[in-house]
Amino acid sequence: MPQISPLVAGDPGQLGSFRLVGRVGEGGQGIVYLGVTDEGEQAAIKLLHVKFSGDTIARSRFARELKAAQRVASFCTARVIEADLDGDTPYIASEYIDGRALRDIVDDDGPLRGTALDRLAIGTATALTAIHHASIVHRDFKPDNVLIAADGPRVVDFGIARIIDSSGTITSRAIGTPAYMAPEQIAGDDVGPYTDVFAWGAVIAFAATGETVFEGNSIAVVLNRILNHEVDVSMLPEPLRGVVRSALSKSPDERPSADQILLRLLGQPETVGASTAVLTRGVQVASDDTTPFIRVPAGTLGTGSPSKAQLMHPPEQSSVTGGEPIPWATGSTSPPRGILDERPAASATDPRPLAPRGRRAGWVALVAAILLIAAASVVAVQNNWLQLALGGNPSPHPAPPNSFTSVADKVAQTKKIVIGVKGDLPGVSLERDGGFEGFDIELAKLVAAQLGAKQTQFVRIPKFEREKALEDGTVDLVIATYSIDKSGVEFAGPYYVAHHDLLVSDGASIESIDDLEGKKICAPNSPSVGNVQARVKVELVTATDYAQCMDLLRSSKVDAVPGEDIMLAGFASRENQRFKILGAKLNDERYAIGIKHGDVKTCKAANGIIAELYRKGVVKSLLARHFANVDFTPELETPSMVSCG
């Protein structure tokens, strides 16, 4: 976790939309601040040194490139949020990643091995593929620009490299990171995606060995080693060894593209570019440290993206309703317009094939076959198939709930899950006609399916029984507008950040909370009432519940109903009359998934699933579906996940 130090004299207090609250660090490029918007969104704000700002023409070019950087899909990257290169204080605001730099991890804890190294390689290859698909070249890929967060590796600073390179000289460009330059950079030749690929190979070699592979006691020595030294990658396992060796080829023409690296590391054919399904799989593998990584058979990603639980098990159908899978959620068909902001499955930016391996390819195929057989054996044991094959009888009863160390393990083995829900909120979680419906319910089904559940049972859990129900195993998870608090449970998420707000008639002349001065508001038992009173003088009309509040608002006996925005939207959506959420955002409520205290494995898995549902636009689709009849602007940005454990 980055250490945030206080601001010092001379530091700006505001940059763009962000109020600066501390210093993250300082380097040759500029000073990095932690910034926060009025809505609570955090960002890493890099204030560039004036010497890098360039002339008017250069700034215009940089601005165009930054706009492209803002379009980079959020696959293992820290997205660019905001930038200003026209003023006297040029800055770039990127998504704040609460994680450690890869360099610090390797320096402090030693080289990465096994699954951790696999996930690093796949996550960073995924990020570079997304960056290259947006026609961006990072130009400064190095261990310092790879952050390891709770949801896996993230590549940062891909929006600033061209700015830093504005002087056009090796000396200014190489200071601090000459060891990760490619031969063509040294020679002054054109740079491109292949330049990032070379740096990627050097970074993975550093992570695996703990040594900078082109180290030297002077820049001249370093540059000579880059041009003439062959890196020993014999300590790496295949296929990583072959991929890194090819990436470190001195000639750009002999290097694979980022697409090809990712496809090969995932065990997929390299004949076409990486599709969105492949990028999604890369994110899932990189963000899941709860199960060993086994490559899926070639071709399986063309029809969908495996879930986290499926990394160790055969593909299962995932569904919102528990029946047929959702085609657009698995990638098998195009999504309805507006559901996913999905890029076309473009071919690789630089589609050069990997160098042929001859007989080695046969050995790799044999090893892959052995791994698949081993994986199938694991599944067979878990499903008692092996006992049947040997003539024995399978265990007639699944293990009792308390025998599992985590919900993720239980679901992986039993394919069943029990989820506690609220059940009395229209549009959010409502029990009706013997079943449950609403935003929380559909989101819960998606989370359950991604954990590997084939059977999901919902039960109503009163607020005061949630913690006990989780502790004694009555329910596995609680998804019930459960606000993160200091109770003795583990929280994953938040899956939605709600705001204390106000519901008013769509035709009313009320545009802000100030317009409620002296007016009547409904007063149910909700802290939202006090939040309103703290801002404006109003007349309270008491009510027993929100159903009564809606009656009062519909009949114009009150002017507004205070409450948490998504709950208000749920009540309003079922009305014939049009209503709107005012957008006052008086306070936040972070709705999270409640898990039994100490179940870090399930917490991390759920965090990854929630983040992916936001990245793919699924949450946006669910919110639009359930609250379409009310003028409501919900939060659509991926929430900042709580730490597990």
CATH code at 138? 1.10.510.10
Query: 327 lies in a domain?
Result: no
What is the arithmetic mean of pLDDT over 281-310? 54
Helix 439-451 to helix 600-615 angle (10° resolution) is: 120
Residues 367, 233, single domain; the answer is: no
Residues 249, 360, single domain; the answer is: no
Tell me which residue has tokens 């890493």. 44
Active-site annotation holder among 38, 84, 104, 140? 140
pLDDT band for 67, please (50, 70, 90 cuts): low
Q: Which domain holds residue 366?
A: 356-392
Tens-place pLDDT, residues 495-504? 999 999 999 9
Q: In the prediction, which pLDDT does 348 show?
A: 34
Residues 261, 368, single domain; the answer is: no
pLDDT at 297 over 70: no
Please, what is the average pLDDT of the chain?
Answer: 76
Query: 553 lies in a domain?
Result: yes
Q: What percent of the chain has pLDDT over 90?
A: 35
Query: 458 lies in a domain?
Result: no
Query: 216 lies in a domain?
Result: yes
Query: 65 lies in a domain?
Result: yes
pLDDT band for 7, please (50, 70, 90 cuts): confident
Residues 160, 46, single domain; the answer is: yes
Query: 350 lies in a domain?
Result: no
Domain boundary among 265, 284, 311: 265
CATH code of the domain in which 565 resides:
3.40.190.10
Cβ atoms of 32 and 42 closer than 8 Å = no
pLDDT at 208 over 90: yes
Residue 324 is given by DSSP the state S
Q: In the prediction, which pLDDT does 4 show?
A: 80
Domain boundary among 206, 239, 265: 265
pLDDT at 329 over 50: no
Query: 596 lies in a domain?
Result: no
Query: 465 lies in a domain?
Result: no
Residues 195, 50, single domain; the answer is: yes
C-alpha–C-alpha distance, residues 487 and 397, integer Å: 34
Residues 116, 258, single domain; the answer is: yes
Total of domains in the chain: 3
Does 140 qualify as catalytic in the annotation?
A: yes
Residues 80, 219, single domain; the answer is: yes
What are the DSSP calls for 145-186, one per residue? Answer: GEEEETTEEEE--TTTHHHHGGG--HHHHHTT-GGG--HHHH
Question: Does the global pTM surpass 0.75?
Answer: no
Domain boundary among 213, 230, 265: 265
Residues 62, 162, single domain; the answer is: yes
